[in-house]
Amino acid sequence: MDKSIVILGSGTAGTLTANRLRRTYDERECRITVVDQNDDHVYQPGLLFVPFGLAEPHALVRPRPRQLLDGIAYRSAEIDRVDLTADRVHFTDGTSLGYDVLVVATGASLLPEETEGLTGPGWGEKVHTFYDLPGAVALHQALERFEGGRVVIDVVDLPIKCPVAPLEFAFLADWYFQRRGIRDRVELTYVTPLDGAFTKPVAAKALGGLLKEKGIELVTEFALGEVDGTGGRLVSYDEREVPFDLAVVVPLHGGAEYVDRSPGLGDELGFVPVDRHTLQHPDHPHVFAIGDAAGLPASKAGSVAHFEGEVLAHNIGRFLAGKPLDASFDGHTNCFIETGFHKALLIDFNYDTEPLPGHFPGALGLPLLKESRANHLGKLAFEWLYWHSLLPGRELPGIGSAMPEHGKTHTPA
Amino acid sequence: MTTATYADTSVTVDDEGFFTDPGQWTEPMAEQIAREQDIATLTDRHWTVIHFMRAEYAAKGTGPTVRILGKTSGVSVKELYQLFPKGPAKTAAKIAGIPKPRGCI
Ligand SMILES: Cc1cc2nc3c(=O)[nH]c(=O)nc-3n(C[C@H](O)[C@H](O)[C@H](O)COP(=O)(O)OP(=O)(O)OC[C@H]3O[C@@H](n4cnc5c(N)ncnc54)[C@H](O)[C@@H]3O)c2cc1C
């Protein structure tokens, strides 16, 4: 078999998928081409630390092609659209590429301009986001200048990448201002469209409790309609107001823009609908999606892309061999949640099981839903694992795609 | 699971009052449910959203979120909040007799 697999996007998901496939199938079995519009791979979990001066921006960036194993073709080009009837990808430079199997791994994009006033007066001065590298750097400078007042963290709507990151930002802000000795001059408010601190009830309770403990006000069911940067106000659609001196906003997310220009590929938000277990497109069996690009009821997180990768590489092999797909993704998600003071919480869940207390991955492992130093060290170790194990498509020792059950306490929500 | 009576007919609803079986819903029930949600009368614009909610539920098995409604129903998010001040996706789902829309994670 000499088949061509084209992978769109060389972020976390595209890179690890290419490397997993290359490890499993040699070059005579399939050609693998990975496409990306720029050559800088940013370690996105590190963006959380940049505003607080806890990570150096340049240390988070590495060249994309260097993360790919030998025998994978890398193409630097911007995707214009996918023609699903002709099985071709068209690029903005006028060239195109055919495929036997297409993997969409172009992630989620930030859409700040979709919220009225968000990118208006005050954007980059009093109104910030840490969800991309330039934003995180600008916020670092703004925080350094900040001497007191109202800091508001707002999530506009879900889905977002790493739904716990805004909470982590709030916890770290509390710690940051304490270290600077001005915490008593800062009012911290966490504003969310959800009816609690998090989507999942057990975790929402634990995380809501932590916000309270740290003196961070929680405003729920707030659907952001407008940002008044000059007046320093967030205004909801139902006309409630939250005043601020500094706003940290996580903007709306959508899929990559070309998805909308590709008839039949995506949903209303530009994400690619796929079977929640096999990751295969419902109408186009030779199209798959992975990572943030996929329209699945799972978190948009690097850990999820990692667990999906194992299933996807196997299923693509089955597909190319003409056999029925048999690997099944269970929605497994695993997130460390930094809480400041050298501590972190860990949550682990899937489509059907709530984040539960206990230990991960077994009875002697890291504590779940509880702050600990060990979890903080786990979060820091993740960066090394990301570059050296996750991206190269290796198995993480003891952590497979299926969610572990050992060591969990099944207390009702 | 409990029952509620709308337009003299008993229907099953969940703990939060959302229909569990959209097949039990009829148009005359909508006005009464709307009044429980502090909406005095249903205008044509309300009905556009209600019919859209039911069609989406029938096609996808879940009602749309506010953002998707704003993008696809022909009614902007701003107007949706004017029509259904207490939260458009949830209120419209309740009046349209479909289960609570599943949000994102
Ligand atoms: C602040 C923050 C903190 C986070 N913390 C964590 C964490 O602690 N743990 C965790 O597991 N995850 C975390 N994440 C989430 C994680 O980074 C993402 O889920 C992960 O990167 C998703 O991988 P992906 O490959 O799907 O998308 P990406 O890594 O974003 O890659 C998508 C790629 O597609 C390319 N692309 C898009 N459009 C085009 C086009 N038209 N043409 C060509 N190329 C295109 C882009 O250039 C990009 O390289 C965090 C994210 C953020 C923002």
What's the confidence (pLDDT) of residue A397? 67
* Distance in angstroms (rounded) separating the CA atoms of residues A268 and B78: 18
What's the confidence (pLDDT) of residue B103? 65
Mean pLDDT of A68-73: 97
Under an 8 A CB cutoff, do A237 and B81 touch?
Answer: yes
Under an 8 A CB cutoff, do A199 and B103 touch?
Answer: yes
Residue A33 has pLDDT above 70, yes or no: yes
Token pair recorded at residue A300: 């948009």
Query: Which is more confidently placed, B25 or A413?
Result: B25
The string over A277-304, giving b where at least 16 C-beta atoms fall within 10 Å of a residue's C-beta and e elsewhere, is bbbbbeebebbbbbbbbbbbebbbbbbb
Mean pLDDT of B17-31: 95
Under an 8 A CB cutoff, do B103 and A225 touch?
Answer: no
Q: Is the CB–ligand 1 distance for residue A333 below 6 Å?
A: no
Determine how many CB atoms are found less than 10 A away from the CB of residue A54: 14
Examine the residue annotation and report whether B43 is marked as an active-site residue of this protein: no
Residue corresponding to tokens 């214009």: A80
What's the confidence (pLDDT) of residue A403? 77
Q: Element (H or E) spanning A73, and its range?
A: strand A72-76
B10 touches chain A (CB under 8 A): no
Q: Element (H or E) spanning A136, and its range?
A: helix A133-145
Mutation pick for ligand 1 pocket among A42, A43, A44, A164 (CB with most ligand atoms within 8 Å): A44
Q: Is the CB–ligand 1 distance for residue A44 below 6 Å?
A: yes
- Closest to B67 (Cα-Cα) out of A248, A239, A282, A267: A267
Mean pLDDT of A192-209: 87
8 Å CB contact between B50 and B92: yes
A255 touches chain B (CB under 8 A): no
- Residue A327 identity (one-letter amino acid): A
Residue A322: exposed, middle, or buried by beta-carbon count in 10 A (0-12, 13-18, 19+)?
Answer: exposed
Q: Element (H or E) spanning B90, and its range?
A: helix B88-95
Peptide bond into A159 cis (omega under 30): yes
Rounded to the nearest angstrom, the gap between the alpha carbon of residue A286 and the centroid of all alpha carbons in its chain is 25
Global confidence as pTM = 0.94
Mutation pick for ligand 1 pocket among A161, A164, A171, A380 (CB with most ligand atoms within 8 Å): A161
What's the confidence (pLDDT) of residue B101? 86
DSSP letter string, A216-273: EEEE-S--EEEEETTTTEEEETTS-EEE-SEEEEE--EEE-HHHHTSTTT--TTSPBP
Q: Is the CB–ligand 1 distance for residue A250 below 6 Å?
A: no
Lowest mean pLDDT among A131-140, A218-227, A394-403: A394-403
| Chain A residues 269-288 within an 8 A CB cutoff of chain B | 269
- Closest to A43 (Cα-Cα) out of A20, A59, A29: A59
Mean pLDDT of chain A: 94
8 Å CB contact between A53 and A175: no
Mean pLDDT of A317-343: 94
**Coil vs helix vs strand at A279:** coil
Parallel, antiparallel, or unpaired for β A241-243 and A149-155?
unpaired
What's the confidence (pLDDT) of residue A1? 66
* Distance in angstroms (rounded) separating the CA atoms of residues A290 and A66: 21
- Closest to A124 (Cα-Cα) out of A225, A247, A251, A252: A247
Under an 8 A CB cutoff, do A237 and B72 touch?
Answer: no
Mean pLDDT of B29-41: 95
pLDDT tens track for A251-302? 999 999 999 999 999 999 999 999 999 999 999 999 999 999 999 999 999 9
Q: Which of A158, A221, A268 sits opposite B72 (nearest CB)?
A: A268
Instruction: Provide the number of CB pairs (under 8 Å) joining chain A to chain B.
Output: 42
Mean pLDDT of B55-73: 92
What's the confidence (pLDDT) of residue B105? 43
Lowest mean pLDDT among A60-69, A134-143, A225-234, A343-352: A343-352
Determine how many CB atoms are found less than 10 A away from the CB of residue A382: 19
* Distance in angstroms (rounded) separating the CA atoms of residues A23 and A25: 6
Ligand 1 midpoint to CA A257 (Å): 15
Residue A167 has pLDDT above 90, yes or no: yes
Q: Is the CB–ligand 1 distance for residue A38 below 6 Å?
A: yes
Q: Closest chain A residue to B86 measured between Cα atoms?
A: A238
Residue A162: exposed, middle, or buried by beta-carbon count in 10 A (0-12, 13-18, 19+)?
Answer: buried
Whats the size of chain B, residue-wise?
105
* Distance in angstroms (rounded) separating the CA atoms of residues A108 and A152: 24
Token pair recorded at residue B94: 């309740």
8 Å CB contact between A169 and A306: no
B61 touches chain A (CB under 8 A): no
| Phi, psi of A185, rounded to the nearest 5 degrees | -100, 5
Mean pLDDT of A213-224: 96
A252 touches chain B (CB under 8 A): yes
Residue B15: exposed, middle, or buried by beta-carbon count in 10 A (0-12, 13-18, 19+)?
Answer: exposed
Which residues of chain B have a CB within 8 Å of the CB of A225? 77-78, 81
Ligand 1 midpoint to CA A3 (Å): 27
- Which residues does residue A82 pair with via DSSP β-bridges, in sequence order? A89
| Phi, psi of A327, rounded to the nearest 5 degrees | -90, 145
Question: pLDDT > 90: what percent of chain A?
Answer: 85
